[in-house]
């Protein structure tokens, strides 16, 4: 992975092994999710099979990785951050299950597998999404609370990032924008809410689990916001440049649905430039961690360079 341009390694610091980090943390998050969720045999089995089908469909666990990396950057323990990492992944997965419904994006494939409603039917898919959303709060409530960041703070953080002013607002604006002319400002509004809000929340939750300082939470907020925007610009670029097979979902969907995207508004080259600038700003936000945020840096760069 070429990292020189954005991420010059200070003298003597060993290179960070992101592949290893992602592999081990994905395994830890999957194991924790498996413990938190009712088994596939638990009655009514259909709903638990449906929840687990989408939750264990091979997601990249980027949000949990952000939670854990942010906790480490703030000197905390990953074990304290793990329930929060699982909670944001439940939120993310619920939003995908509902977004894929025929009444929304009407997608047949996600992560290379049939979408939830294609396997379990629309009624169960709606309920599986509901159950994952509810499960997220049940899991988050089981995280440790601190005097500085109590359960009240943790729940409010997740609820606000996922609510009608953020995650859901983004989906609504996206839905209402289909087939209409969308300005760059409107597109940014959608991206900030649909993607940035939960990535920002992930970084902040990691910090909160580590009893981070006000300066640290401000830095994580700044970092998460810019990484989130960059992530979505890249998503738009990949939708145009990659095949469905590589993406694991239907490529070219945005164009087909006449959805506004960065490439459609400012062009492919300018979009790449914007993603790089956003990532550079995310890097700048990490200065406060004085070299302790290596995992966050590597994640930001990975998200910029990813090809699927």
160 or 188: whose CB is closer to a copy of itself?
A: 160
CB of 220 to a copy of itself, least distance (A): 20
Q: Rule CB under 8 A: is residue 201 a binding residue for a copy of itself?
A: no
CB of 82 to a copy of itself, least distance (A): 16
72, 93, 116, 135: residue in contact with a copy of itself (rule CB under 8 A): 135
Q: Rule CB under 8 A: is residue 159 a binding residue for a copy of itself?
A: yes
Q: Rule CB under 8 A: is residue 96 a binding residue for a copy of itself?
A: no
CA-to-CA separations, 113 to 146, 206, 232, 307, in angstroms, rounded: 40, 30, 22, 18
CB of 54 to a copy of itself, least distance (A): 13
DSSP per residue over 50-68, as a string?
HHHHHHTS----HHHHHHH
CB of 193 to a copy of itself, least distance (A): 9
CB of 305 to a copy of itself, least distance (A): 33
**Residue 238 · residue 307 · CB < 8 Å:** yes
Tokens 């409010």 found at: 156
* Number of C-beta neighbours around residue 103 at 10 A: 10
Say how far apart CA 170 and CA 65 lie, in whole Å.
23
In this structure, what token pair is assigned to residue 272? 């790449």
**Residue 224 · residue 196 · CB < 8 Å:** yes
38 or 252: whose CB is closer to a copy of itself?
A: 38
Q: Rule CB under 8 A: is residue 258 a binding residue for a copy of itself?
A: no
Site string for a copy of itself, 33-52 (x = CB under 8 A): -----x---xxx-xxx--x-
Helix (H) or strand (E) holding 99: helix 78-99
Q: Rule CB under 8 A: is residue 183 a binding residue for a copy of itself?
A: no
6, 114, 119, 126: residue in contact with a copy of itself (rule CB under 8 A): 126
3 or 160: whose CB is closer to a copy of itself?
A: 160
Say how far apart CA 30 and CA 16 lie, in whole Å.
22
6, 101, 266, 288: residue in contact with a copy of itself (rule CB under 8 A): 101
CB of 178 to a copy of itself, least distance (A): 10
CB of 170 to a copy of itself, least distance (A): 9
211 or 281: whose CB is closer to a copy of itself?
A: 211
- Looking at the DSSP assignment, which residues form a beta bridge with residue 122? none
DSSP per residue over 8-58, as a string?
PPPTTPPPP-HHHHHHHHHHHHHHHHHHHSPPTTSSSHHHHHHHHHHHTS-
Q: Rule CB under 8 A: is residue 228 a binding residue for a copy of itself?
A: no
CA-to-CA separations, 182 to 189, 240, 250, 265, in angstroms, rounded: 11, 18, 22, 8
119, 175, 280, 288: residue in contact with a copy of itself (rule CB under 8 A): 175
Q: Rule CB under 8 A: is residue 168 a binding residue for a copy of itself?
A: yes
Q: What is the Cβ-side half-sphere exposure of residue 243, based on CA atoms within 13 angstroms?
A: 2
111 or 160: whose CB is closer to a copy of itself?
A: 160
Say how far apart CA 143 and CA 135 lie, in whole Å.
13
**What's the first-to-final CA gap in the chain, in angstroms?**
15
**Site residues (vs a copy of itself, CB under 8 A):** 38, 42-44, 46-48, 51, 94, 98, 101, 103-104, 121-127, 129-131, 133-135, 137-138, 140-142, 145, 150-152, 155-156, 158-160, 162-165, 168-169, 171-173, 175-176
């Amino acid at each position: 992975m070429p990292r020189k341009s954005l991420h010059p390694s200070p003298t003597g610091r060993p290179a960070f092994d992101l592949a290893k980090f992602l592999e081990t943390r994905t395994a830890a998050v999957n194991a924790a999710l498996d413990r938190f969720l009712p088994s596939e045999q638990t009655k009514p089995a259909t709903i638990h099979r449906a929840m687990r089908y989408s939750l264990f469909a091979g997601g990249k666990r980027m949000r949990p990785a952000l939670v854990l990396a942010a906790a480490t950057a703030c000197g905390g323990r990953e074990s304290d951050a793990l329930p929060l990492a699982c909670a944001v992944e439940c939120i993310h997965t619920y939003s995908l299950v509902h977004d894929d419904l025929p009444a929304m994006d009407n997608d047949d494939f996600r992560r290379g597998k049939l979408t939830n409603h294609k396997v379990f039917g629309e009624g169960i898919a709606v309920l599986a999404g509901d159950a994952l959303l509810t499960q997220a709060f049940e899991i988050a409530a089981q995280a440790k609370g601190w005097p500085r960041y109590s359960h009240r703070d943790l729940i409010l953080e997740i609820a606000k990032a996922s609510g009608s002013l953020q995650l859901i607002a983004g989906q609504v604006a996206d839905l209402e924008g289909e087939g209409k002319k969308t300005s760059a400002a409107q597109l940014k509004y959608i991206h900030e809410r649909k993607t940035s809000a939960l990535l920002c929340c992930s970084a902040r939750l990691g910090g909160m689990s580590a009893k981070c300082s006000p300066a640290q939470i401000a830095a994580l907020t700044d970092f998460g916001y810019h990484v989130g925007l960059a992530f979505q610009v890249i998503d738009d670029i990949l939708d145009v440049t990659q095949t469905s097979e590589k993406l694991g979902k239907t490529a070219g969907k945005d164009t087909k649905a006449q959805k506004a995207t960065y490439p459609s508004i400012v062009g492919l080259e300018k979009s790449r430039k914007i993603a790089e600038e956003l990532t550079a700003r995310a890097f700048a936000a990490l200065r406060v961690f004085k070299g302790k945020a290596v995992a966050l840096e590597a994640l930001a760069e990975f998200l910029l360079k990813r090809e699927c």
